[in-house]
Amino acid sequence: MSIATALWAPDKRQDWLVITLVGVGHAGSHFSHLLLPLMFPIFTEVFGLGYAQLGLCVTTFFVVSGIGQAMSGFLVDRVGAIWVLLCSLICLVLGCLVASFADGLSGLVAAAFLLGLGNCSFHPIDFSILNQKVSSHRIGYAYSAHGLCGNLGWAVAPVFMLTIAQTFGWRWSYLAAGLVFGLLLVLLWTYRTELVTPRSSHHDSNDVQGFEFMMHPTVWWCFAFFVFSTVTLSVVQSFGVSILQRMHEVSLWAANASLTGYMVCAAAGMLLGGIVSTRYASQSDRVVASCMFVGALLIALCASGWLGAMGSMLALASTGFAIGIGGPSRDLLIRGATPKGSTGRVYGLVYSGLDVGFAVAPVAFGLLMDRGLYAMTLLLAACTLLLSIGFALAVGHFSRLKANAVG
C-alpha cells in the first residue's frame, strides 16, 4: 500500500482522531516527568533541602512508575484502557495539588508518589488503544505521532512551569499544571467512546492468560532492549551538558543548546521514522539495529574528543535524529512479539524497562562523573546502546520464525 493510500484511506478520520487523543495523553505523561525536577533549585532555597534529598523524589517517581507500569498492564487488559487512563489523569491532578501545598520533603515525596502512579499506566494504555483501534496500514504513523507527542511534552514542561513560577510563584505553577491535566481529563472523557478497547476474555483459548506471557523469551528481550537503550538516553539527558562543559569548556548556554538540539532532532527523526516503519514493517529489527548503531557510533565519536567542541555538539544532537528514526520501528517490533490477548500486560512490562533505565543510569554513571571520567561515561553509554542492538535483532529473528511456523 502506498503512503498516500495509508494516509488518506476512507477510515482515516477515525484513526487520526484516536491517534491525536492518545498522543495528547502521552504528551501529558512526559510533561509529568519534569514537574518536580524543574523546581529543585527553588526547593533548595525554600525548604533548605539538598540535592540528595530531592533525588528521593525522582527515585520515588520512577520506582512507583516502574512497578505500576508492569502491574497496570493486567488492569488494562481486564477492564479496558480508557477507564485506567481516566484514573491515571485523576492521580496526576491530585499529585499537582499535593505539590502546590507541599511544605517540605514529605509533601514532595507524596506528590512524587501520586505523579508516578498517574504516569505508570500510559504506555500499556496507549499501545492497547493504538494496536486495537488504528488500522494496521497506518500503525507506523500512529507510533511516530505517539513518540513525537511525548517529546513535545518534555519540551513544553520547562517553558510552562518556569514561566508561571517566575511570574506568579512556584505553587501556582503546580496549580496550573493540575488544571492542564483536569482539562485533558475532560477532553478524554468527552471522547471516551472512541477509546474503548475490548477486554481480554478468559474464554478465548487462543488468548494468553494470566502470567503466561512472561514465559515468552521475546518479551524479556524487549524489556532488556528498553533498559539498555534508556540508560543511554538518561546519560545524555542527565550528564550531556556537564560532559560538554568539562571536555570542551563550552558555555552553559551552548551545552544546553546541544541537548535541546538532541530532543528536537529526536522529534524530527520520529516523523521520518513513521514513514520508514511503514515501508519496512517486515524489517523492523534491522531498522532499529541500524539506527542504534549509528547513534552509538556518534556518541563514541563524542567521547573520543576528535570532533572538537562544535563537532561534538553537532554529533550529540544528530544522535537524537538517528535514535528517533528507529522509534516507530521499535514499537512495531514489540507489537509483533506480543502474544495474542496480552497487549496491555506486555507493553506494561516491556516499557517498565524505561523506568528501570532512568532510575539506574544516574546513580551508576554518576559515580564515573564524580571521578572526572567524562569520556568514559559517554563511551560506556555508547556500549550500552550497542548491547540493545543484540536484543532487538533477537526479537526480530524469533518473531519471523514464529510467523513462518504459523504460516
205 domain-assigned: no
Q: What is the mean pLDDT of residues 280-308?
A: 91
Indicate whether 33 and 163 sit together in one domain: yes
Residue-wise pLDDT for 152-200, tens only, equals 888 788 888 888 988 999 999 999 999 999 999 999 999 988 888 776 5
**What string of DSSP letters covers 7-33?**
HHSTTHHHHHHHHHHHHHHHHHHHHHH
Of the three residues 135, 165, 196, the one that is the final residue of a domain is 196
The DSSP symbol for 283 reads G
- Of the candidates 265, 290, 294, which has an alpha carbon nearest to the alpha carbon of residue 280? 290
pLDDT bin (cut points 50, 70, 90) of residue 7 is very low
Measure the CA angle with vertex 57, ends 51 and 62; round to 5°: 125
Indicate whether 167 and 234 sit together in one domain: no
In sequence order, the 6+-apart residues with CB closer than 8 A to the CB of 325 are 269, 270, 272, 273, 276, 287, 291
Indicate whether 282 and 384 sit together in one domain: yes
In sequence order, the 6+-apart residues with CB closer than 8 A to the CB of 351 are 69, 123, 124, 226
Determine how many CB atoms are found less than 10 A away from the CB of residue 12.
15
Instruction: Give yes or no for a contact between 381 and 92, defined as CB atoms under 8 angstroms apart.
Output: no
**What string of DSSP letters covers 260-293?**
HHHHHHHHHHHHHHHHHHHHTGGGHHHHHHHHHH
Instruction: Give yes or no for a contact between 52 and 78, defined as CB atoms under 8 angstroms apart.
Output: no
Distance CA 328, CA 332 (A): 6
1 domain-assigned: no
In sequence order, the 6+-apart residues with CB closer than 8 A to the CB of 355 are 62, 63, 65, 66, 69
Indicate whether 385 and 248 sit together in one domain: yes
pLDDT bin (cut points 50, 70, 90) of residue 8 is very low
Of 114-118, 259-263, 383-387, 400-404, the poorest mean pLDDT is in 400-404
Question: Beta-strand (E) ranges in 287-329?
Answer: none
**CATH number of 101's domain:** 1.20.1250.20
208 domain-assigned: no
202 domain-assigned: no
Indicate whether 226 and 101 sit together in one domain: no
Residues in the chain: 407
Handedness of CA 66, 150, 219, 377 (dihedral sign): negative
2 domain-assigned: no
Q: 3-state secondary structure string, 65-124?
A: HHHHHHHHHHHHHHHCHHHHHHHHHHHHHHHHHHHHCCCCHHHHHHHHHHHHHHHCCHHH
Only one residue has cell 516523523, namely 271
pLDDT bin (cut points 50, 70, 90) of residue 203 is very low
96 domain-assigned: yes
Instruction: Give yes or no for a contact between 273 and 144, defined as CB atoms under 8 angstroms apart.
Output: yes
Q: For the chain, how many structural domains are there in total? A: 2
Indicate whether 289 and 384 sit together in one domain: yes
Instruction: Give yes or no for a contact between 130 and 22, defined as CB atoms under 8 angstroms apart.
Output: yes
Indicate whether 179 and 219 sit together in one domain: no
Of the three residues 147, 168, 196, the one that is the final residue of a domain is 196
Phi-psi bin for 372: left (phi > 0), alpha (psi -120 to 50), beta?
Answer: left
In which domain, by residue range, is 127 found? 11-196
Instruction: Give yes or no for a contact between 150 and 30, defined as CB atoms under 8 angstroms apart.
Output: yes
Distance CA 348, CA 69 (A): 5
The DSSP symbol for 207 reads S
Rounded alpha-carbon distances, angstroms, from residue 264 to 187, 227, 345: 27, 23, 31
Of the three residues 141, 163, 196, the one that is the final residue of a domain is 196
Q: Which residue has the higher pLDDT, 213 or 349?
A: 349
281 domain-assigned: yes
Of 38-47, 95-104, 291-300, the poorest mean pLDDT is in 38-47
Q: What is the mean pLDDT of residues 29-57?
A: 83
Indicate whether 42 and 92 sit together in one domain: yes
Instruction: Give yes or no for a contact between 356 and 225, defined as CB atoms under 8 angstroms apart.
Output: no
**Mean pLDDT, all residues of the chain:** 84
Instruction: Give yes or no for a contact between 330 and 392, defined as CB atoms under 8 angstroms apart.
Output: yes
108 domain-assigned: yes
Indicate whether 255 and 164 sit together in one domain: no
Distance CA 81, CA 339 (A): 18
Q: What is the mean pLDDT of residues 30-55?
A: 83
For the record, the C-alpha cell of 279 comes out as 515501508
Indicate whether 280 and 370 sit together in one domain: yes
| pLDDT at 271 (0 to 100) | 87
Indicate whether 169 and 247 sit together in one domain: no
Q: In the predicted model, is pLDDT for residue 89 greater than 80?
A: yes
What percent of the chain is modeled with pLDDT above 90? 31
Indicate whether 229 and 330 sit together in one domain: yes
